[in-house]
């Protein structure tokens, strides 16, 4: 274990500060933050933790506070061992869960199915119902449940809250949520558009209403969450009316390794003509497609390096990415009957001025005018407008902060709110 501390951290054990632990448990990693749910998002979280390479020969745990960092590379047998060890490291740094006034734990849960329309306080029944949804998210929900159970046994005395990636899209109108397939097959198998990244789309869209200084009920907006995964949402008066991800997070925009929309007939054609199994095709579409399938790299910064070096596959991958974004943008402008704001968020959306420029190129006739200096300002950070003052449609960059949104929900429910 290495402690790279610069100075001892002053442990805020005075009980003045209320903190929320936000946990995001994946299949081979756990990410968490301890943060002040009343913060405005401009400060980094008080503690960030990462537990990864679970089950591998060499594990990796890293705890970062404003003053210190500590790492551990011993093997991690399982999720519960990893989380317990991470909490132990926090205690060594003087910021363990018992040193801080942790008032709630918020858990990111990927799939809430038709069951959960918003955040809920976790009890045995909620855990059982999240388990019932495992067939809809076989990779994600089991890891989320594991995280909930481990954290509840380590912190049994604070309320735990589940916040669902799908929750914001629970109210999609039926015309947007239903697929045109056999009705009974759809009903029996719970097939509908659920949508994902809901916490991010909701958080960002609320910020936009504030930036416009307008009542959210009067704002029609499109939010573009462009990270490793990517999705678009059309939001009318604070309510999601369409989104690009579907039953699974495979649908919609081109992503780092996921294909986004394809003709479903491709799957059957591949099965028949090349003998690929459904697992092979699933892996290909989820892990070896998108930017990676087209160019060999899934990370946008690496893609940009290839483009700068004149790599033709990378240039085409970029063009397909932008073309697909414009397809969604255009259809959402029509579905909303006009749009007041278009917002970019997540790693690519927040940082890549070229994607923003190219996605919105030649839309002056639709009232969208980017201000190049604002868009390309290397110093700019935080929520900001990048359209011209005269642009009828305002364009924003708003850093997402799903952890802060989850922490706020968790505090609210822990305090007896409705979520
Ligand atoms: P996740 O979906 O895993 O949360 P992020 O929101 O962190 O992902 O986004 C990751 C993507 O953002 C990667 O493709 C990364 O290359 C891209 N990205 C991050 N910083 C930049 C940057 N400065 N310029 C271009 N792309 C960036």
What is the reported pLDDT for 2? 54
Q: Say if CB 196 and CB 314 are below 8 A apart.
A: no
pLDDT at 417: 67
Contact call for residues 54 and 72 (beta carbons, < 8 A): no
Our CA dihedral for 46, 108, 328, 137, rounded to 10 degrees, sits at 150
Q: Which residues does 72 contact at the CB level (< 8 Å), separation at least 6? A: 1, 2, 59, 60, 61, 62, 85, 89
Each residue of 138-190: pLDDT tens digit?
888 999 999 999 999 999 999 999 999 999 999 999 999 999 999 999 999 99
The answer to whether the annotation marks 354 as part of a ligand binding site is no
User: What distance in Å separates the CA atoms of residue 258 and residue 230, rounded to the nearest whole number?
Assistant: 9
pLDDT exceeds 60 at position 388: yes
| Cα-to-centroid distance, 224 and ligand 1 (Å) | 13
From the CA of 301, give the closest atom in ligand 1: 16
Judge whether 87 is annotated as a binding position.
no
- Whether 14 shows a pLDDT value over 50: the answer reads no
So what's the pLDDT on residue 418?
Answer: 53
Sign, CA torsion 196/203/327/335: positive
Active-site annotation holder among 72, 146, 165, 236: 165
| Other beta carbons within 10 Å of 319 | 12
3-state secondary structure (DSSP) of residue 197: coil
Expressed in angstroms and rounded, the spacing between residue 82 Cα and the centre of ligand 1 is: 26
> At 286, is the secondary structure helix, strand, or coil?
helix
Task: Report the SS3 class of residue 230.
Answer: strand
Q: Known binder of ligand: residue 348?
A: yes
Does residue 305 have a pLDDT over 80?
yes
- Give pLDDT, residue 304: 98
Average pLDDT, the chain: 93
Could you tell me the end-to-end alpha-carbon distance of the chain, in angstroms, rounded to an integer?
40
What is the CA(227)–ligand 1 centre distance, in A? 5
d(CA 30, CA 48): 11
Atom 23 of ligand 1: nearest residue by CA position: 351
Q: Is 72 a catalytic residue?
A: no
Q: Which residue has the tokens 């946990």?
A: 23
Instruction: Ligand 1 pocket test: pick from 300, 308, 397 the residue with the most ligand atoms within 8 Å of its Cβ.
Output: 300
Query: For residue 268, how far is its CA from the centre of ligand 1 (angstroms)?
Result: 33
Q: What angle do CA 362, 380, 345 make, to 5 degrees?
A: 60
The full set of domains in the chain, from first to last, is 19-172 (3.30.420.40), 214-345+347-399 (3.30.420.40)
Q: In which band, very low, low, confident or very high, does the pLDDT at 1 lie, cut at 50, 70 and 90?
A: low
Length of the chain: 419
Q: Which H or E run includes 243?
A: strand 239-243
* Residue burial 228-239, b: 16+ Cβ < 10 Å; e: rest: bbbbbbbbbebb
User: For the segment 32-69, what is each residue's pLDDT rounded down to a tens digit?
Assistant: 999 999 998 888 899 999 999 998 999 999 999 988 99
pTM: 0.93
Closest approach atom of ligand 1 to CA 355: 25
The SS3 call for residue 161 is: strand
- State the helix-helix crossing angle for 312-336 and 300-308, rounded to 10 degrees: 120
DSSP annotation of 250: T
Is 225 part of any known ligand binding site? yes
Closest C-alpha among 106, 146, 139 to residue 122? 106
Question: What integer is the mean pLDDT of 290-308?
Answer: 97
Residues with CB under 6 A from ligand 1: 227-229, 256, 299-301, 346-348, 351-352
Find out whether 187 is annotated in a ligand binding site.
Answer: no
Instruction: Among 24, 200, 227, say which to mutate for ligand 1: greatest number of ligand atoms within 8 Å of CB.
Output: 227
Mutate to test the pocket of ligand 1, among 204, 230, 301 (most ligand atoms within 8 A of CB): 301
Three-state SS annotation for 99-148: CCCEEEEEEEECCCCCCCCCCEECCHHHHHHHHHCHHHCCCCHHHHHHHH
Predicted confidence at residue 7, as pLDDT, reads: 40
> CB of 249 within 8 A of CB of 237?
no
**Category of 56 on φ-ψ map: left (φ > 0), alpha (ψ -120 to 50) or beta:** beta
pLDDT band per the 50, 70, 90 thresholds, residue 137: confident
């Amino acid at each position: 274990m290495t402690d790279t501390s610069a100075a001892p951290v002053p442990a805020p054990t005075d009980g003045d500060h209320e903190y929320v632990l936000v946990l995001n448990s994946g299949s081979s990693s756990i990410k968490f933050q301890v943060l002040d749910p009343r913060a405005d998002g401009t400060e980094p979280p008080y503690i960030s933790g990462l537990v990864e390479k679970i089950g591998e020969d060499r594990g990796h745990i890293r705890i970062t506070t404003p003053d210190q960092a500590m790492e551990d590379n011993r093997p991690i047998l399982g999720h519960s061992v990893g989380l317990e060890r991470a909490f132990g490291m926090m205690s060594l740094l003087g910021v363990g869960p018992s040193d801080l006034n942790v008032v709630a734990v918020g858990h990111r849960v990927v799939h809430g199915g038709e069951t959960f329309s918003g955040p809920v306080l976790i009890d045995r029944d909620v855990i059982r119902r999240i388990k019932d949804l495992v067939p809809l998210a076989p990779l994600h929900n089991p890891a989320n449940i594991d995280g909930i159970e481990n954290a509840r046994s380590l912190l049994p005395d604070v309320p735990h809250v589940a916040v669902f990636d799908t929750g914001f899209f629970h109210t999609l109108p039926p015309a947007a949520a239903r697929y045109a397939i056999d009705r009974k097959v759809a009903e029996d198998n719970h097939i509908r558009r659920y949508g994902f990244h809901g916490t991010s789309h909701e958080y960002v869209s609320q910020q936009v209403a504030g930036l416009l200084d307008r009542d959210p009920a009067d704002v029609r907006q499109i939010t573009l969450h462009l990270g490793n995964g990517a999705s678009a949402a059309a939001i009318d008066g604070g309510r999601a009316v369409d989104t690009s991800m579907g039953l699974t997070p495979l649908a919609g925009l081109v992503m780092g390794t996921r294909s986004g929309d394809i003709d479903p007939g491709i799957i059957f054609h591949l099965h028949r003509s090349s003998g690929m199994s459904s697992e092979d095709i699933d892996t290909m579409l989820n892990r070896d497609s998108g930017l990676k399938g087209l160019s060999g790299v899934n990370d946008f910064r690496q893609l940009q390096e290839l483009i700068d070096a004149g790599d033709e596959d990378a240039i085409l991958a970029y063009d397909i990415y932008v073309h697909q974004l414009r397809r969604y943008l255009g259809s959402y402008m029509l579905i909303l009957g006009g749009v007041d704001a278009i917002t970019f968020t997540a790693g690519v959306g927040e940082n890549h001025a070229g994607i923003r420029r190219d996605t919105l190129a030649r839309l002056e006739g639709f009232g969208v005018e980017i201000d190049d200096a604002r868009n390309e300002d290397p110093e700019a950070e935080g929520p900001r407008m990048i359209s011209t003052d005269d642009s009828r449609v305002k364009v924003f960059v708003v850093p997402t902060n799903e952890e802060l949104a989850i922490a706020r929900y968790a505090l609210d429910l822990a305090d007896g709110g409705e979520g």
